[in-house]
Amino acid sequence: MGQEAVKEGHDAEALELLQRSCHQFEHGDGCLVYGLEHKRLKTLEGNETTGVAIMAYEKACALGTSEGCFNMGLVHEQGSNRPVDLNKAANWYRKGWELDQNPKAGRNLASILFTANETDKEGAIAIFTTLCDAGHLKDCGNLGTAYVREKDYVAALPLLKKACVGSKPDVQACFNAGVLIARGEDQSVTNPAAAAEPLFKTACSHGHEKACQKLAPQ
């Protein structure tokens, strides 16, 4: 009922019902929505994420709602009402990932492990691989980018190209694939400039400025 009240715009009623759902009936999803709604209303008032919202996310996570764990990770990664702490953020994201392989929690965890402190590159690559195999094309791009950073271009290229498809391609993956092909990293290509052009065009058409520059006459 709390979520229905949110949809209908009855803010006070919604908060009361969601608070009961969370604290009286201990519903993880209720805690999550209570925290999100509390944050939304405080944001409208010009305030940051509140302690009430944070406690609701934490309880949602403890009750098995992985999105609550993800939001706790965001709190620590973004420094919402507290200092940035990437180690704590990673721990919360890990909980969300381990609960039910929450894609957002896994993606952010892998990004921290790989780029922020490089504590576990193999673990990051394993998470990106799982997400890519599950059909999350953005994470195929993330995995390809990870291999680029490791200078494993043979592994990187198919993944980057895989992410550069459909109506919502990963534009950074398109650009990165174009760059690798243009500089001759794909040994099967006889005309690197021509092979790279469609990738740059795709990225450019979705607003990637550097890709547009690659298409400009030299």
DSSP string, 116-141: IS-S-HHHHHHHHHHHHHTT-HHHHH
Domain range 1-109, CATH class: mainly alpha
Q: What is the pTM of this model?
A: 0.85
Q: What is the pLDDT of residue 147?
A: 96
- Segments making up each domain of the chain, as ranges: 1-109
Q: What is the pLDDT of residue 42?
A: 72
Residues 36 and 57: their CA atoms lie apart, in Å, by 8
Q: Which residues contact 159 (CB under 8 A, 6 or more apart)?
A: 132, 140, 141, 143, 144, 147, 173
pLDDT digits (tens, 9 = 90+) for 141-197: 999 999 999 999 999 999 999 999 999 999 999 999 999 999 999 999 999 999 999
Instruction: Calculate what percentage of the chain has a pLDDT beyond 90.
Output: 76
Tell me the pLDDT band of 45, cut-offs 50, 70 and 90. low
The structure tokens 């504590």 sit at: 119
Q: CA–CA distance from 17 to each of 14, 34, 57 (Å)?
A: 5, 9, 16
